[in-house]
C-alpha cells in the first residue's frame, strides 16, 4: 500500500506493494519518500525491479526489510540497518547513508562485449573473454564501467557523499 495526501506531499509506504505486469512503474513525490519498517514488495507477471523508479523531491528514508527500484532523490537517501535494495540509490545534492545494507543492482546492468585487437593480427575480436583483461564492460547511461564480476555490493557502515 502506498499513500500520499497530494502529488506534492510526502509518500509513505506500509505493508505490501504488489506490482503486476511488465512495464515501467514511476512513483513521484515533490516531498519525501518513507518506506516504513515492514514494507515489502511483490513483483509478478513480468514486473522487474529494473523498471521501478522513485522520483523524490527531497529526501528518501528506506527502513525495509526490502526495497525495490531506483530511488532518485533531490537531497539525501537514508537506508536503515540490514535493508536489501534491489535497484539503485541516487542522491543529487547530498549523501546516501547505508548501515549494514545490501544493494543488488547487477540485474539492471547490461554487459556488452568490447572489440579488442587479436595478438599479432590487429583484427578486433568479440565474444567471451574479449575486452580489457577479460572483464565485462558495463554501459550505464553513457557511463562505462569495467569489472571482472557481477555488480553486487554489500555495504557495511559506510557513508558516501556526492561530489556534486
pLDDT for 111 = 62
Separation of alpha carbons 48 and 50, rounded Å: 5
Question: Which stretch of DSSP H or E encloses residue 97?
Answer: strand 95-99
> Per-domain residue ranges for the chain?
1-104, 109-151
pLDDT for 69 = 95
Separation of alpha carbons 38 and 116, rounded Å: 49
Max CA distance (Å), the chain: 67
Q: Which three cell numbers stand for residue 28?
A: 513521484
Q: Could you tell me the CA-to-CA distances from 54 to 18, 23, 32, 33, 90 in Å, in that order?
A: 15, 15, 11, 8, 10
Compute CA 36 distance to the chain's CA centroid, rounded to the nearest angstrom: 19
Give the residue ranges of the chain where pLDDT is below 70.
1-7, 107, 110-164
pLDDT for 64 = 82
pLDDT for 88 = 94
pTM of the model: 0.65
pLDDT for 161 = 56
Amino acid at each position: 500500500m502506498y499513500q500520499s495526501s497530494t502529488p506534492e506531499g510526502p509518500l509513505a509506504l506500509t505493508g505490501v506493494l504488489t506490482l503486476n505486469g511488465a512495464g515501467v512503474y514511476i512513483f513521484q513525490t515533490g516531498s519525501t519518500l518513507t518506506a516504513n519498517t515492514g514494507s515489502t514488495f511483490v513483483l509478478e507477471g513480468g514486473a522487474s525491479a529494473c523498471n521501478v523508479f522513485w522520483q523524490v523531491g527531497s529526501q528518501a528514508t528506506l527502513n525495509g526489510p526490502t526495497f525495490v527500484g531506483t530511488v532518485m532523490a533531490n537531497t539525501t537517501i537514508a537506508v536503515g540497518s540490514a535493508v536489501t535494495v534491489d535497484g539503485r540509490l541516487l542522491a543529487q545534492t547530498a549523501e546516501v547513508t547505508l548501515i549494514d545494507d545490501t544493494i543488488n543492482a547487477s540485474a539492471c546492468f547490461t554487459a556488452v562485449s568490447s572489440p579488442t585487437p587479436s595478438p599479432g593480427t590487429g583484427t578486433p575480436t568479440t565474444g567471451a573473454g574479449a575486452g580489457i583483461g577479460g572483464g565485462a564492460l558495463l554501459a550505464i547511461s553513457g557511463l562505462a564501467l569495467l569489472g571482472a564480476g557481477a555488480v553486487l555490493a554489500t555495504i557495511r557502515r559506510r557513508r558516501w557523499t556526492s561530489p556534486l
